Structure formats: structure tokens, C-alpha cells
Structure 1
Amino acid sequence: MNKRYLLFIVLVLIAANAFAQPNGMIGDRMAIFYPPSFDAPRHLPSLALLKEPVVKGKVSGNWKILPVFKWNEGKSIVEITLNETVDFYGTGEVVGPLKRNGQYVQLWNSDNYGYTKNEGKNLYQSHPWVMGVRDDGTAFGVLADNTYKQSIQTDGELITITSEGPAFRLIIIERENPKELVKALAELTGKMELPPLWALGFQQCRYSYYPDERVKAIADRFREEKIPADVIWMDIDYMDGYRIFTFDKEGFPDPKGLNQYLKDRGFKSVYMIDPGVKVDKDYSIYQQGSAGNHWVQTKHGKEYNGAVWPGQCAFPDFTRPETQKWWASLYAPFMNLGIDGIWNDMNEPAVFNTPEGTMPEDNLHRGGGSLPQDSHLRYHNVYGLLMVRSSREGILAANPTLRPFVLSRANFLGGQRYAATWTGDNVSNWNHLKMSIPMSINLGLSGQPFNGADIGGFGGFANAELLGQWMAIGAYYPFSRNHAEKSSDQHEPWALGKKTANASRTALNRRYMLMPFLYTLFQEASTNGLPIMRPLFMADSKDKNLRTQQEAFMWGEDLVIIPSWAENVSLPKGNWKTLRLDDTPDNDHFQATLKIREGSIIPTGPIIQNTTAYSIDSLTLYVNPDSKVQAAGRLYHDDGNGFGYRSGDYAVYEFKATPGAANTLMITVNTVEGNKKTKSVYRVAVVMDSKIVYSEWVNGNNITVPLN
């Protein structure tokens, strides 16, 4: 009887895991819905969410969006019928239009050169998230808390999410507009950490700069050309036979000396680290990984090997706490060579000569701690997220007083907590240039604000016109990096002639002049999750004319950026005026038009060659007063590299413009947050319809500008 009773208790507990999950409200206008049969151990803990949601009450009777759970032909399905007109956005890293109505996306991270495989329906990252914007401007979000291979189809008034894993739960959020919805998403999935200031600078990469003398020559040429830049990147050819955490003895005999050479010229260095570890019994990393039993296994419990750049490789099993700790420990001696940042690539994970370009779905991840043992089908989409989490922890342990920088090709919803990203291996053509804008915007609407595309196109050959146009708009990507593969022509700003070099210099001068404003946007994104690069409809979600605008975009709320090739751009309501930094006319046809919002103040600095020269000692405040001759703006400032801001070593300045006597404009500067003490001199630039009116430079917090 006792054995039968114990068996009964076990069955009850199993059933409780599978069935007893109540739907309910988990926060302000946030509801969670469970399928009739929810296998918690197959889904939990969530890797997308910051913490496990707690049901605090029942779903109200007037809740609009109710999912229907189905099971068909071995697949779990959720259907949401909306019964109203909705414009869809988000769904992460996707090709195609900004508006996602009538689109199919497969969420299965894939090495997809040129976005050609599967017609680009699945790329390097997966974000099971759909934003809907109604006719009245209100917005809702649908989050599928599911890491298994799945797809999202948006047809008319129907959202269908189909998964090859067990039935999954769904979170639905209601908000008054898209801006508040993205904030709510960030509350659930986390926000990016404030990056080091240098990561906001322009960055130059190639597959590959070899040998180290070539790296030095690139750095020197930037300074000779006076084209601003902050970072030089090392692709895989710096390694010894593509073995990670090693250096080619002939091409890179003194990496510490190389990194110091770059630092002396105001550059940071970022080095690639892939997950694949070469199977080589004489290679210390492979020896350590084998001794620690750190590798992903086949379904039969044997070490899985797959071909990548080094040849046959083993792959760390990042679900194991012991493996996470071991992987993190590899970074200290590497970073101690003066390396500033890490690039985790090929971490979908990519595996050559396989049907889907990755490891088998039935491979085994053994888990540990809170993560259970399960198949690669479950953990594939979060392999990159788990890798960059360990990488970030290792970099931070190596340099605990410095903000880490990690760039990752693969990621998952919530992965913004650990790494920046880019849109993978695009190609050099006009379509990919134009497509980069809606791609970056939708990533931002899916919780990842720090993103960008390879400027110039990674694959193929850019001509001078295309490169100039791409540099002119890529200067405004949140992550701004020029990159190209080894079989392409050189894509450095000067490589295709003086016109392209001049266009690049002008565009990057403007990015660096706008650095005080841009850094403030990054700080805001780290606190509220809002994108840096935003769609125009975020300024007025009720204006349906803005819903399909995918050529122009916004930086924050106050600046619209319009590429020179954009056509029929509709601006949000208001008197947006053209902003010419320092009132200099465009000297080429490449430059984007900048529009400053009515009622805003944008702080800018002088032209600098890199962020080591950044300061707020002298600031020009561009002002576009509203109809009441009023305006406001904000500036965030800290040391740019450490964590002192967490204990108050920062300052937030508030700028306010009001009408003064005798047709003047009065601007006041007040410190409203933080303990950091700084002294700045200010110049005010009032943006008029056909000119800019400048004040004198003023050493103080009150500036008056005559408007006549």
C-alpha cells in the first residue's frame, strides 16, 4: 500500500507540473496564458524573462486578446484572432518591410550569408515577440515564452505561432502606445547595460586585417585622413589555425604590443572568439574542455564534433554551470593583453556541411543548476545567449572596474542584457542598404536597442556611390561598423576615392558632434529599454501615414534622420526644422538630412577624432522653440568607462528655453540628478527657418540669445 501511495503522489506531482497552471494578471495590463497541458520542466526557467512571473489576479472579463491553444500533427499552436485592424511590428531580426502584416518568420537561428537561405525567413537571432498597433494608436504585445523551433505568421487579424516543442505559455501586454509597450517589454526581458562610451564611436573591421602591420596601417590612415574612428576589429585570421584564444605567431607575434600601438593612437581593439574549439589533443583549450567534460554530446552521450573554420570542433555546453565558469575563466589572460572587447561569432551555432547548418536537433545539453538536461531542439535558439552571458561574465571578472563590450551574431529575446548585435552577413547592394533600416528598427522594437548593419555590405563589391551612401546613413546606426569579407574590395572610407572619403568624414564628424546627445539616448535605453533608432510612428502612433515609413528614422524623440535617397517621407506633426550642425552646408549629395523637433534642445560637442577626446567642456545647444518660444532637452554625463555612475558619479543636466525680454530667448541649465561636478561653457544655436542664430560662448548656466 505504501508503494502504491507513493506512486500516486508522484503521479499527482507530475500532473501538477503538466496541468495546474492558472492564467492571470502578472502586472499592470500584463496577462499570462497557459495551455491546458503545460510541461513546466520542458520550458522553465525562462531564458527570455528576468524572473518567473507571479499571477496576482484573474484575467478581467473585458480583456481583449485571448489566445487559443491547439495541437496538430505533433506541433503546438497558438492562434490569436483580433477582430480589429492592426499593424504588426517587431518579430526581431527579420528581412523585408517594417510593417510585418502578412509575413512569415521562422525562429531558428541560422548562419544565413546574404539572407538567401530559406528566402531569409530565419536569420541569426530569434525574438518570439509581436507588436500590434491599433487604429487608435494603442498597442499590444504578444510574447511566446518558448525557445524551441517555432514560426510566427501574421495574416490580417490573425497571429499564429507554431512550435515543434511542447505547448508553451504566452504573455500579452496592453499599453496606450508603442513607446510604453517597449518599456513594458524591457521590464519583462531586461535592459541593455550602459556600454562604454568608445563603443558608440565608429568601428572598422575586415575579414581579415593580416598581419598586425596591416592593422597598424589602417589605424594610421584613419588619423591621417582625419576620419573619426574608435575601434579596429580582428577577425579569425589573427588566430593560430583558427584556434580560439591563440595568436598566429608570424602575423601577430606581439598582440600586447599591437594593442598598445592602437591605444597610443586613440583606438580600442575587439577580437573574435567563436564557440567551436578545434579537436586537437595538443591544444590546451581542447584539453581543458575534454578534462572538464564541457562539450555538447550526441544523443548517445558521446562528444559531438562538427566542422567549422578550424576543422572538426567540439562545442561548449553552456547549459552546464561548470562549463559557464570554465568558459568565463578563459578571458582573463586574453583580456590582459590589452584587448578591449569581444566578438562572439558563429554562435547559432554554425556547423558546416550539415542539412541545416547547425548541430543535430537531438544532440544533448546536460544542463545543471536551474537548467534541466534537454535536446538541442530546446537550447539551439539560446545557445548564443548562453555563450555571451558567460563571455560577459568572464570579461567583467578580468576587468571588474570597466564596462564590458560583447558583440554577438546569434541571440534570443532578452539577450540585450548581455551583448550588442548586428544583422549578420549582408551584401553590397542597394536593397540591403535600404533594408538595414527596417531591420534595425524592428530589432529595437523587440528589445535590442544596440544594433546595426555591416556598413558597405559584408559580401560582394561596393562601388564608390554605394559605399558613400552607406557611410552617410550608417553613421547613424546605434552600432556603427564598416565590415567586409576577404574576397571583396577594400571598404575603408578612403578606399574608393576622395568623394567617398569626404562623405564619410562629414557623416562621422556629425556622429561625433552629436555624441553628447547619442550617449544620453544610450543611457536612457539602459534605464527604460527604449530604442535609440526608432520608427517615425513612435512619435505619433495615431498618425497612420507614419506606419509604413521605413526609410527615415528617429534618434530618440527629437531628431529625424532622412537618407539622401529617401522618397516621400512624411514627418510627424509639428514644425520640424532642418538642423545643419555648425550651420555648414552639405558639401556632397550623400549626407542625410537632419530634422530637429519643435520644442527640443539637442546638445552637441566639437568635432573629435575619437572618444578619448570626448568631454562636455564646451557644448553647443541647438534649439527649435515651439509656438510659445519654449523648448527643453537633457544631457547625461559620466566617466564613460566605469561603474561609478551606479553610486552617483554622474550628472544629468536639464536645458530649458523660455521667452525673454526684447525678443530674446533665455536658456537655463540645471543639474537635476547625480553628484558629478563639471564646468561647461555653452553656446546656443537657435534653428530658424532659413538660418541659425548663435549666442556668444557663455561660462555659466544662463544664456540669452537675441532672436532678431
Structure 2
Amino acid sequence: MITNTELEYKGNLYPNQIVDYKRDSDKLYFTTENGVILEVTVLQDSVLRFRYATEYVFEPDFSYAISETASKGYNRLEVTENKTEYLLETSVLQLLIDKKTLRTQISDLEGNIINEDELGFHWEENYEYGGNTVKMSKITQTAESFYGMGDKATHSNLKGKRVNNWCTDQYAYGKDQEPLYKAIPFYTGLHKGKSYGIFFDNTFRTYFDFAHERRNITSFWADGGEMNYYFFYGPQMSEVVRSYTNLTGTPEMPPQWALGYHQSKWSYFPESRVKEIADNFRKLKIPCDAIYLDIDYMDGFRCFTWDKTRFPDPKRMIGELNEDGFKTVVMIDPGIKVDKDYWVYQEAMEKDYFCKRGDGPYMQGKVWPGACKFPDYTNPEVRAWWAELYKEFMAEIGVHAVWNDMNEPAVMEVPTKTAPLDTRHNYDGHPCTHRKAHNIYGMQMVRATYEGVKKYVFPKRPFVITRAAFAGTQRYSSTWTGDNVATWEHLWIANVQAQRMCLSGYSFVGSDIGGFAEQPNGELFARWIQLGVFHPFCRVHSSGDHGDQEPWSFDNEVTDIVRKFIELRYQLLPYLYTMFYRYTEYGTPMLQSLFYYDQEDTQTHFRTDEFIFGKQILVCPVQEPNAKGRRMYVPRGKWYNYWTEETIEGGKERWVTADIDKIPLFIKEGAIIPKYPVQQYVGELEIKELILDVYFKIGAENSMVYEDAQDGYDYKKGQFSLRKFKLVGKENELIIQQFKDGSYTTSYKSFKFKLHGLPFTIATIEVDNEEVPLKQIKLNGNNSIEIDKNFTELHITGK
């Protein structure tokens, strides 16, 4: 353990020797002579919380990030003391606290150091604003890698990088540009095959230095507030991410149409243009579930109004679109136009719901409508009022979903691009300035939107989208990665950002497919669609300053490729829906970077392009023009090429052919992939048969498919269907067992098994220990079998 000989160094203050120790159930308190208190809370055997107070005083213990449903409880907690340190031990971890310096060291029970303070906690008085700048420095382990941190547009491995968190409107941002739209101060560290995570729960502007300034030191600090962080231990990264996601929460299941393909632009108007777009999708048979209306549907950019010249009867239009399978999603921004004749403005003024400056006047800024005031969404009364504003839109006009943009909050024509730092906020009864509330402003706006949409689309499920977010926002909303650019570099950025967001607990994510700013050519658009259909949120969105960006906006070849991949997404909807179930239920990321998927393989630690979609599909986008294929790393194990059914052995880099009409796509051996027939929109067809693509393996593999009514809340009362499959393959034999849960009855009565890579010709088939004549089960050649969905065991033998 490092010792500290100086109390003050370069203006920083440090804890000195411990003079008091107390325990209160799961909380341990260590007090130093110079007034620092360290509170250690044991949430689980592998999850610890560290809070530091100076001058003997903690701030009120309040967090927007932590989920009310976060699980707590540990099996063992013992504290012992010796001459130089305190030793805390759970059934998983050891924590040493040095008596002289308050520095900490965390090890596993075998004594392997997982995480260790360098200078540890230190602070500097902030004479400009008051309070402290709080700091923490850790020793960077040999060959340690770092991942996570939300929407950072940089290499997936953060080693050697410095980043910061301050939700910012960054139009046409570039690679490595900082900061961006989201503030998710959570990272995972990986060294010597063991993974841990740190979540710095502080909403002030925060900074993270991953061995950038000093190559052996990792540090993080904040402009104010408390040094308050959570430590999660794996040793598997999957366990770290699940623990963090459990702490900050997961969303409910979305309506299944929210997982379809969505079309957006700034802006589709008037009504005739919206109808033309919808008609083209159906005429060209390109599946689509939602059309978006950007700010130009409003009357003078006033939220919760309609431009009656462009949209004379929105209720009728939305109803007609709905009859043709299109959901309507509308944009709502936080800036409320200063207009004494505008009812939303009037109400907010009468109720004193707008944010104010430090010396009394209302905070005012320019956005699309001109001069605007901004509701204080950190006030519970304001959130309740905002939720009610959605009543007419959702319950009466029939809008299906809402998209919150500009909610960093973005303010035009000021250098900071946002509200003044002296703006005051209620912060749920803990009054503060914008320095503290800025990073959660968008989160609390979309929280209020979510509550309103949920109330007024009931008994359907809500679907909400946000641009700005803090840790925990995933409980309320999907998101996208902001105003990107139609370049090949941004295709790379979108791929990295989506993976990083999933690793940061926020899986319902996508990018503006094709790029928001500037114009893609047909090849870039096709390649971006090929990536975008494998992102949880799948939407094309573009700015209005260039040509069109619909699937048919390029040549016929591109249109056919785009249709092919959107159809593939619709075929994979039951697989995608099952991915979402795993995410909501277990905190499993919907996209998994290769270092997450196989952290023991050090070859994965610096890979950015390849990812696992769900559990068993390997995707690697082509990210440069004129490519006929690419080199990619295939993780360990055996994989089937989706297009050729050739099997390859992973654990090495290889060349994969992928002309413009294909993306490198591989299926893990042993996987059972559920598929629906192609639909033009979710719910268009009654599913008569579930297709199960079976990829033979010698050995065992588990798969599952989750289904419910695709909307509504009956699934929470047991009205779901969860089918778990265990595949066991032998040289001349294939056994598939099914385990069923839930009381939902699916519309189909049979499975169609499509068998891939079967190394033998089928001789006999037994269903639940009874041999079945091959004619009876509609054996089609040697690769497909139809049987009743309620089987328990399918046993195929070869000859």
C-alpha cells in the first residue's frame, strides 16, 4: 500500500490518519483526524459503494441514477483490524483500508489485486463556485484495458484517452470529439483475465483519465458534489455490466413495432408528403413501422400544437396511417416559446414552472421558436404537469410515440450551447444550480414524457426517445447517437458508439442511419442499413439541407439491397425481441463487443468492428467504399457463414467476402434462431408457423425464444411464452429438448425446423419417445421438419 507523507500537494488536500471506526449494519464509517469520513456500503458480495465527506459532513444521499428495484444483500461481511489497516471481507472480495492515508485496495479472496488507490481520494476547494473539486486516482495495472463511458466517439478501448461528461449539442461531431450528448460515468477495467467496473455517481461535469496524463494512473474527478462511486467485481465482464445495469435499471418490454424499421427526416410535411412516403413503402414492399414528424408539424415550433395549414386534421391522418400499419412519432423539445397567447407558456408562467437565474429573472434562451423559457423538470410538480400535456396528443389525436430532442438543454447563439451555470433547479427538493442539474436535465424531461405517454397510450406500452441522457435514463427511454455525418468515418463511429452504449447499460440505441448531416451516396447508405438493422433501435434520419434519404432515393440496386436487409430484420424480430427480454430481465447487453463476449482471448481487447448481436449472431460491418469483403476477427469457436453455410473455426483474423449486397454475418454453431415470415409491419400477418433455424453442433448449446402479445401489459401477469431449447449433437444423432414457461398461447401451432450442417442423412425421428413416420412430419428433403410446437424432445438419428 502506498503511503502519503504530505497533507497538501499542489493545492490538493488529502485525508490523514483514521481516528474512528463505526459499523451500522451494511455501512462502515472511517473518520480521519482532518475531518474526512469514508462510508463504505456493502450492497452485494461483489458490489461496494464508496462515499467521502469532508469537514465531517455528507451531502443528502439522493440520486437520479439508482433504480428503486436494484437488488441488495450479501452473504458474508467480516471486518478485522490490525496495526496498519482495516480489512473488510465478503464472500467474494477483500477490501484493505490504510489507517494512515484512507487509501483502499480491493483484491479477490486469492489475494489478486483488482483495483488499488494511487493518491486515492483528494480534493481542492473551488473558490469560484464554492464546494470542492473532488478527485480519485487509481493505479493502472499492467496491460489493463478500459471500456464503456456511454456515447464516446472514439476507439472502444479507452486506454490512453481522456474523456469528460457534459451533455452537449454537438452537431456534426467528429471522431474523438468531446463531450457529446450523454453523460454515463461508468467504465469497466480488464486485466489478467479479471474485470471490474466503477460508476461515479456524480452529476456535475466529470472527467476520466485512463492513463493519459500519467501512463500508470487512472483518475476521475468532478467540478463539485461528492466523491461517490460504486465498485463492481466480475470477474467476468458480463457480471460487472449486469451488476451496474441492475443498479441503474432496465426498461419495460417495448411494443414490438418499436423494434421495426422507422423512417424520419427533418422534416416530412405537409400531410400529402407524409402520405406519399407511406404509400411508397407499401408500393415497393419495403417493411416499415413508423414515420416521424420533426418540428415543422408544429405551429411556429410551439410544442403540443399543430400547423393546421400543413396538417389540417392530424387525428384523421394518424388514423389513416395506422390503418396502413404506420405508427406516428412526434418531436417535442424542452424550449417553450415566449408567447403570452400560447397556452403551454401561459400555464407554466402561472404555475411558476420555468427555470430561473441566480438573481431572480427567468432563464431564457434562443431555440427554434426564438426566445424560449425552459421548464424545471427536476421539480416533481413540473414533471407531473408536463406528463399531463401529452393527454390530447396521445389519448385524443392518437400519436403513438414521442421523441425528445434538444434536451441537453441546447441553447443557440451562446458559446456554451446551453443554459447559464447559475440557473436554479429544484432537484427534487435539493435546490442547486445548473452545474449540478445540467447532466440530468434531459433525463428528467424524458422521464416526465415517459410518464405522460405511458398514462395516455395505456393499455398499450409507451415508446419514447431521447437525445440527452445520464446513467439510468434507460429505464424510461430509447436513444440515438445524435447529429452524425454521412461519411464512412461516421459509419465506424456509429458501430463503436452502439456497442459502447450497450456496455454502459443502455441497450435500446441506434444511430441516424445514413448520416444526419450531408448526403450519403448509395453505397454508403446500403452499408449503413446493413449495420443499422443489427442495432436495437433502427431509424433512418437526415437533415433537410440535402436530398432525400429514403430506401428508394438511390438506384434500384441499392433499393433492392436495403429491402433485403430490412426484410432480414423483420424475419429476426422474435430473436431481437428475445434479446430485449434478456436485457430487461437480466441486464444482458443486446450488442456484445468481442472483449465482452470472450475476455480471456486477449486478441479481442482492441477490436472495434465485430460484435455479437444478441447471443449467437456475429456481425461485422463493411466500413470502407468499393470493398468486396474485409478482414475480420472471428472469436473462438465454430461459426456458420450465414450466406454460404460454410463453417469456419474462430480464434483468428481472416478475409471474408462481402460484396455490396452482403455483410459478414456468422451464426454460432448449435444455435437455434427463431424467425417470422417477412411482414410489411409488425402485426400485419398472423404467424402460422415459427421457423427455427438449427445450426448443427457436436456438443451442447442453449437457445431461447420469448414471445407475448407484442404490446400491452398482460406479459407481466404471466401471459408470455418462454421456450428454452437445449441442443445436443453427436456424430450420428441430434437431440433438441424444449422447456416451456408462461401461459401465453402463440398464434402458430407448429415449428418448422430448418437444419443446417447436418452431417448425416435422417433415418428416424422420435418426438417425445415415439417414432413418427417421416411423411407425417412433412420431412422436406434432409433440411426441414415440421412438428407440433408443444413437443418436449425431438430425437433425430442418421444413417
Q: What TM-score, normalized to structure 2?
A: 0.82
In the alignment, which residue of structure 1 is the partner of 2:187?
130
Q: Does 1:484 align with 2:542?
A: yes
Query: 2:62 — aligned with what?
Result: 45
Counterpart in the other structure of 2:26: none
Letter in 1 for 2:459: T
**Partner secondary structure for residue 170 of structure 1:** strand
Q: Report the counterpart of residue 755 of structure 2 in structure 1.
A: 686
Residue aligning to 1:347: 407
Partner amino acid for 1:685?
Answer: K
1:332 paired to 2:395: no
Percent pairwise identity: 33
Structure 2 CA distance for aligned equivalents of residues 43 and 98 of structure 1: 35
In structure 2, distance between residues paired with 1:429 and 1:48: 34
Change (3 A) 1:401 1:320: same
The CA deviation string for residues 450-483 of structure 1, in whole angstroms up to 9 with x for no partner, is 0011000000011111111111211111111001
In the superposition, relative to structure 1, how do residues 659 and 131 fare at CA in structure 2: closer, same or farther (>3 Å)? closer
2-structure distance, mates of 1:516, 1:420:
19
CA 650–96 in structure 1, closer or farther in 2 if over 3 Å, else same:
same
Change (3 A) 1:30 1:668: closer
In 2 relative to 1, CA 79–372 (structure 1 residues): closer, same or farther, beyond 3 Å?
Answer: same
Distance (Å, rounded) in 2 between the aligned partners of 1:73 and 1:305: 31
The change in CA–CA distance for 1:209 and 1:488 in structure 2 (over 3 A counts) is same
Which residue is 2:594 aligned to? 536
Aligned to 1:175: 234
Partner of 1:624: 695
Cα RMSD between the aligned structures? 2.6
Residue 301 of structure 2, aligned match among 224, 242, 254? 242
Distance 2:712 2:136 in 1: 45
**Cα distance in 1, alignment partners of residues 71 and 732 from structure 2:** 56
For residue 509 of structure 1, what is the aligned residue in structure 2?
Answer: 567
Q: Distance in 2 between matches of 1:674 and 1:180?
A: 30
Query: When the two structures are aligned, how many residues end up with a matched partner?
Result: 685
* C-alpha contact 1:658 1:667 (8 A) present in aligned 2: yes
Matched, 1:22 2:39: yes
> Which 10-residue stretch deviates more, 419-428 or 588-597?
588-597
Matched, 1:302 2:361: yes
Alignment of 1:421-500 (within 5 A): 421-500=479-558
Structure 1 gaps, min length 5: 1-14
Give the 3-state SS of the residue equivalent to 1:477 in structure 2. coil
Relative to 1, partners in 2 of residues 1:41 and 1:284: Cα closer, same or farther, differing over 3 Å? farther
1:667 maps to what in 2?
A: 736
- Flag the 1:234–1:582 CA change in 2: closer, same or farther, 3 A: farther
User: How far apart in 2 are the matches of 1:617 and 1:397?
Assistant: 33
In 1, the alpha carbon distance for the partners of 2:365 and 2:719 equals: 48
Deviation of the 1:685 alpha carbon: 1.8
Partners in 2 of 1:403 and 1:436 — Cα distance? 28
DSSP 3-state at the match of 1:192: coil
The residue identity in structure 1 corresponding to 2:200 is A
Where 2:492 maps in the other structure, the secondary structure is helix
Offset at residue 198 of structure 1 (A): 0.5
Query: Alpha-carbon deviations, 1:499-541, whole Å to 9, x = none?
Result: 1111101111111111111100001101111111111222211
Q: How does 1:67-106 map to 2 (within 5 A)?
A: 67=117, 68-72=120-124, 74=126, 75-106=133-164
Cα distance 1:668–1:172, how it changes in 2: closer, same or farther (>3 A)?
closer
Deviations 1:323-373 (A, max 9, x none): 1111011001111211110000000000011121001111111344xx311
| Deviation larger for 177-186 or 663-672 | 663-672
Q: What letter matches 2:679 in structure 1?
A: I
Relative to structure 1, the CA distance from residue 182 to residue 449 in structure 2 (aligned partners, 3 Å threshold; closer, same or farther) is same
For residues 116-195 of structure 1, the aligned pairs below 5 Å read 116=174, 120-136=177-193, 138-155=194-211, 156-195=215-254
1:584-603 to 2 correspondences below 5 Å:
589-603=660-674
Q: Helix, strand or coil: the match of 1:34?
A: strand
CA distance in 2, matches of 1:53, 1:552: 33
Structure 1 stretch 592-601 or stretch 478-487: which is displaced more? 592-601
- Contact 1:228 1:609 (C-alpha < 8 Å) held by counterparts: yes
Map 1:287-436 → 2, pairs under 5 A? 287-336=346-395, 337-368=397-428, 371-436=429-494
The one-letter code sitting in structure 1 at the alignment partner of 2:195 is A
Q: Is the 8 A contact 1:517 1:602 kept in 2?
A: yes
The answer as to 2:645 corresponding to 1:575 is no
Deviates more, 1:406-415 or 1:548-557: 548-557
Contact 1:473 1:591 in 2 (8 A): no
Q: Which of structures 1 and 2 has the larger relative contact order (alpha carbons within 8 angstroms, sep 6+)?
A: 1
Say which SS state the counterpart of residue 633 (structure 2) adopts: coil
User: Does the 8 A contact of 1:38 with 1:167 survive in 2?
Assistant: no
SS of the aligned residue for 2:160 comes to coil
User: 8 Å contact 2:696–2:729 — kept in the other structure?
Assistant: no
Q: 1:635 aligns with which of 702, 705, 730?
A: 705
CA contact (8 A) 1:599 1:625 kept: yes
Which amino acid counterpart does residue 71 of structure 1 have in structure 2?
A: W
**Pairwise CA distance, 1:309:** 0.3
Find the aligned partners of 2:265 and 2:152 in 1 and give their Cα distance: 24
Equivalent residue for 1:255, pick from 291, 305, 314: 314
Structure 2 distance, partners of 1:589, 1:55, is: 52
Q: Going by fraction, where is strand more abundant, 1 or 2?
A: 2
Deviation at 1:20, TM superposition (A): 4.8
Q: Indicate if the aligned counterparts of 2:686 and 2:747 stay in contact, CA closer than 8 A.
A: no
How far has the Cα of 1:33 moved from its partner? 1.6
In structure 2, the partner of 1:610 is 681
Per-residue deviation at 1:123?
Answer: 0.5
Partners of 1:230 and 1:610 within 8 A in 2: yes
* Cα shift at 1:651: 0.9
Does the CA contact (< 8 Å) of 2:698 and 2:729 recur in 1? Answer: no
Letter in 2 for 1:26: L
Cα distance in 2 between the residues matched to 1:134 and 1:100: 13
Q: CA deviation at 1:312?
A: 0.4
* Matching residue of 2:257: 198
Deviation at 1:116, TM superposition (A): 4.5
Gaps of at least 5 residues in structure 2 are: 1-30, 80-87, 89-93, 97-105, 108-114, 127-132, 624-628, 647-656, 761-780
Per-residue displacement from partner, 1:525-558 (whole Å, max 9, x unpaired)? 0111111111122221100111222112111221
Seen in structure 2, the aligned counterparts of structure 1 residues 42 and 498 have a Cα distance that, compared at 3 Å, is farther
1:341–1:405 CA contact under 8 A, matched in 2 = yes
AA in 2 matched with 1:470: W
Asked if the contact 1:563–1:591 (Cα under 8 Å) also holds between the matched residues in 2, the reply is no
- In the other structure, the counterpart of 2:7 is none
> Cα distance, 1:668 vs. partner?
4.0
Q: Could you tell me whether the CA contact under 8 Å between 1:537 and 1:572 is conserved in 2?
A: no
**Structure 1 residues 677 and 690 mapped into 2: Cα distance closer, same or farther (>3 Å)?**
closer
Aligned partners of 2:644 and 2:571: how far apart in 1? 8
> Secondary structure in 1 aligned to 2:706?
strand
Q: Write the letter of the residue equivalent to 1:25.
A: V
Q: Structure 2 vs 1, CA of residues 567 and 659 (structure 1 numbering), >3 Å: closer, same or farther?
A: closer
- 2:277 equivalent in structure 1: 218
- Change beyond 3 A, Cα 1:41–1:53: farther
What's the offset of the Cα at 1:99? 0.9
Judge which range, 610-619 or 356-365, deviates more. 610-619
Partner SS, residue 362 of structure 1? coil
CA deviation after TM superposition for structure 1 residue 151, in Å: 1.1
Work out whether residues 423 and 439 of structure 1, in 8 Å CA contact, stay in contact via their aligned partners in 2.
yes
**1:518 matched to which residue of 2?**
576
Kindly tell me: are residues 497 and 319 of structure 1, through their superposed partners in 2, closer, same or farther at Cα, counting changes over 3 Å?
A: same
